[in-house]
Structure 1
Amino acid sequence: MDLLSILFIVLGAIAAYLIGSFPTAVWLGEGYYGIDVRHYGSGNAGATNTFRVLGKKAGTIVMLLDITKGFTAAQLASILALMGWVNADFLTFYKLIFGILAIVGHIFPIYTNFKGGKGVATLLGMALAIEPEVALVCIGIFFVVLLASRYVSLGSMIAALAFPLLLLLPRFSPDTPLLIIFGFALFAVVVLTHQKNIRRLIHGEENKTYLLRNRRNRDH
């Protein structure tokens, strides 16, 4: 690997982190609603809290943008491979690295004093860039759990665990076994960022989310 390739890989890594750092929930809330979502609800700067504080439209926009962050960051590796700066045999590895940096950026964004969201939507974007079929199955699992339990946190954790477990099946077996290890590692990160949610789930105090009901009809 020559110095020019190393330089572009480093620049790609920095770009991936900066892309992940975009605080979409904060910027959308302050820019269009005059509300900092970090001061309401769970205080989290992510899509779930945006749904609770600003409603379905704003929450959906933030979720899609956060997914796009992870997808875009991971696809930076494809651009580098196309330009010949990354060996195509290691493309999945670099997608993982750039995707993980985007997740780190989302959790610890440089633009908002390193206080961000939990990274689930950004993780999903990375998964879509690397294993789209498995990621789509995980999305289905997430919504099934959410509709059955009304808990976004529970759906997020189960879907995150489903990703590496599905990769163990012959149907989805990846070309790079390292992807399975990274999958379990990222599940561990999701659990760590949901520690408060886990405690609330255990004590029956976790907030519920109703996708199919209007705000005025929700239980209090």
Structure 2
Amino acid sequence: MPGEPLILVVEDEAAQREVLAYNLRAEGYEVATADAGDIALDLVRETPPDLIVLDWMLPHVSGLEICRQLKTGKDTRAIPVIMLSARSEEVDKVRGLETGADDYMIKPYSVAELLARIRTQLRRTRPAAVGEVLSYGDIAMDMTEHRVSRNGREVSLGPTEYRLLAVFLERPGRVWSRDQLLDRVWGRDVYVDTRTVDVHIGRLRKALGAAGGEDPIRTVRGAGYALG
């Protein structure tokens, strides 16, 4: 389904990579995989994932160095990184976390626990993906019941407008380009003209306006759209 979180699995052991990818897809996530750090960095630049599961022991460039590069990059530092390692010493865990990893799991690990930790990270960065209630000002979206209200009045939205609003509510104030909205709302493998974004933004504005209040969506000339 378009809009599901994209998780990048960076693991050089094929069997572990396939098991992880299988379990993540079974949970409904989009999955990309890489067996080396340089490939992972290329994938991140091409299509930034919502979260990275990163093995420490990689050929050529270590996961620790990949994590350092990601966390010092302006466009990648906010991507959560869960590091996997056979290194169980506390000093190694500290090194991993100090390099910027958001979480650290020691091999062998429980896939169920890893999935739980992934949900925890996504709850922080993409709350709409894990069924939270999102709100901004007088607008509220209950992801579990699939309901939107404004000033206490129910707002009727089509599925595309609903996903657009969820993206805005996850990051109020952030300016989203049309291409970024296409990726997040329509999906990365779907070709849709960028003008389609403008049409659905118009429909979302109309639906929110019907419940009263000022237009909460801001047009940023030459850049895109933002909530608030």
The TM-score normalised by the length of structure 1 is 0.27
Which has a greater percent of helix?
1
Q: Which has the higher contact order (CA 8 A, sep 6+)?
A: 1
